[in-house]
């Protein structure tokens, strides 16, 4: 390493150090988080334990938002399933409105042989989709999602289409069992199609959301070698888990969740989960929601609409910046823009 490189790394050290106290998770991108010496002394395991403790505190603040039986289910197994969320007539009208929507900015991501298309549900898009706005304002929808996300911060919502076997590539990495990050996070799926076993149902290891002594020991061991893992994701902080790991952790086998349309699934994606195996050509359409916040903040926040609008703008600005960076290299950005016909012309399955 040259003098210039050493000086650059030294200058960045305070920045890397500050990231320890936030959401940063990459063992490979941050030499402090990925330090074998520091992790041998318990840095990663300590972050995991403290993050879970702070999240439990925020959950306690927000417990009043949702019925006790949903809270108990979510805390015990790591996910909750609510069938028939909307009245049938309202659900059918929503599906029809989404089937004819257009003039939306659609982004595509190619992972292995799977295509994922997303439309960000910002204020402008929701103005054109009033029935979708009604869903997001449902008496249970946002309270449940913000409780499970352990923060009043409004989740990001998307129309999402999953197209299995639609690209030339290796196996879809989302179909490998993994944890998203080191601290509790929320993802939710409101399914607009029936999701049978051939459509890649959401799959979860019940109870893997809990920060047990065995899980902490596993996180500790993985932190010592994660930055050199070759799978492309563990080194970035999304640890992959093998079947033998589940047995050592005393956890059950993964549970696939085939569901009917009009079902809401909300999960803590710090628990082990994946997209189930799917038959090529089988697609599904859903409203996908996501929330992640500083895990070390003990306060649940206020859910400001202004903050939500700013987050939408930041997401769009980041996309455009990455588009320009990728264009300069002559490649596509990981989430690149595509024609909206990939969403609007897709028939909803019966």
Determine the Cα–Cα distance for residues 249 and 246; give it in Å rounded to an integer.
5
Q: What are the helix (H) ranges across 193-350?
A: 213-223, 243-248, 305-329, 341-344
pLDDT for res 239: 97
Determine the Cα–Cα distance for residues 183 and 217; give it in Å rounded to an integer.
15
Task: Give the model confidence (pLDDT) of 46-77 as tens digits.
Answer: 999 999 999 999 999 999 999 999 999 999 99
Give me the mean pLDDT over the 186-207 stretch: 96
**pLDDT over 60 at 4, yes or no:** no
Report the Cα 94 to chain-centroid distance in Å.
Answer: 24
Give me the mean pLDDT over the 245-256 stretch: 96
Determine the Cα–Cα distance for residues 3 and 221; give it in Å rounded to an integer.
33
Task: Output 47 or 168, whichever has higher pLDDT.
Answer: 47
Bridge partner list, 114: 111
* 3-class DSSP state of 108: strand
Q: What's the pTM?
A: 0.93
**pLDDT over 80 at 5, yes or no:** no
| 3-319+333-344 maps to CATH 2.60.120.620 | yes
The side-by-side arrangement of strands in the sheet containing 273-275 is 255-256, 202-204, 273-275
Residue 194: DSSP 8-state: -
Residue 234: DSSP 8-state: G
Confidence band, pLDDT 50/70/90 cuts, at residue 42: very high
Phi, psi of 294, rounded to the nearest 5 degrees = -60, 115
Task: Give the model confidence (pLDDT) of 284-339 as tens digits.
Answer: 999 999 999 999 999 999 888 899 999 999 999 999 999 999 999 999 999 999 98
Contact 240, 176 (CB under 8 A): yes
Give me the mean pLDDT over the 220-226 stretch: 95
pLDDT for res 293: 93
**pLDDT over 80 at 20, yes or no:** yes
Confidence band, pLDDT 50/70/90 cuts, at residue 102: confident
pLDDT for res 319: 96
Contact 340, 106 (CB under 8 A): yes
Give me the mean pLDDT over the 212-224 stretch: 97
Determine the Cα–Cα distance for residues 238 and 256; give it in Å rounded to an integer.
20
pLDDT for res 344: 53
Number of Cβ atoms within 10 Å of the Cβ of 61: 16
Tokens of 174: 């989302």
Determine the Cα–Cα distance for residues 33 and 64; give it in Å rounded to an integer.
35
Residues 6+ apart with CB under 8 A from 136: 121, 126, 142, 157
pLDDT for res 8: 56
Average pLDDT, the chain: 92
Determine the Cα–Cα distance for residues 158 and 25; give it in Å rounded to an integer.
24
């Amino acid at each position: 390493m040259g003098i210039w490189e050493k000086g650059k790394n030294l200058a960045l050290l305070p920045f890397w150090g500050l990231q320890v106290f936030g959401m940063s998770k990459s063992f490979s991108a941050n030499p402090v988080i990925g330090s074998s010496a520091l992790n041998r002394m318990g840095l990663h395991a300590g972050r995991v334990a403290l993050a879970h403790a702070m999240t439990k505190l925020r959950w306690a603040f927000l417990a009043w938002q949702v019925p006790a039986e949903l809270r108990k289910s979510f805390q015990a197994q790591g996910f909750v399933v609510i069938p028939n969320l909307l009245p049938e007539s309202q659900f059918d009208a929503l599906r029809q409105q989404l089937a004819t929507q257009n003039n939306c900015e659609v982004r595509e991501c190619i992972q292995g042989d799977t295509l994922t298309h997303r439309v960000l549900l910002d204020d402008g898009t929701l103005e054109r989709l009033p029935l979708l706005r009604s869903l997001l304002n449902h008496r249970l929808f946002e309270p449940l999602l913000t409780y499970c996300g352990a923060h009043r911060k409004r989740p990001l919502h998307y129309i999402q289409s999953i197209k299995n076997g639609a690209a030339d590539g290796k196996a879809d990495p989302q179909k490998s069992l993994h944890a998203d990050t080191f601290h509790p996070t929320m993802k939710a799926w409101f399914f607009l199609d029936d999701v049978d076993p051939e459509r890649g149902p959401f799959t979860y290891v019940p109870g893997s959301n809990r920060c047990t002594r065995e899980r902490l020991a596993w996180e500790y061991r993985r932190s010592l070698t994660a930055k050199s893992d070759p799978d492309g994701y563990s080194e970035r902080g999304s640890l992959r888990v093998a079947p033998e790991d589940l047995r050592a952790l005393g956890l059950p086998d993964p549970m696939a969740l085939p569901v009917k349309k009009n079902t809401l699934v909300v999960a803590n994606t710090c628990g082990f989960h994946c997209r189930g195996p799917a038959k090529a050509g089988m697609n599904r359409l859903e409203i996908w929601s996501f929330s992640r916040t500083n895990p070390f903040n003990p306060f649940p926040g206020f859910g400001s609409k202004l903050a939500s609008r700013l987050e939408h703008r930041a997401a769009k600005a980041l996309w455009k910046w990455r588009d320009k960076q990728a264009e300069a290299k002559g490649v596509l950005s990981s989430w690149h823009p595509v024609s909206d016909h990939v969403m609007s012309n897709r028939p909803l399955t019966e």
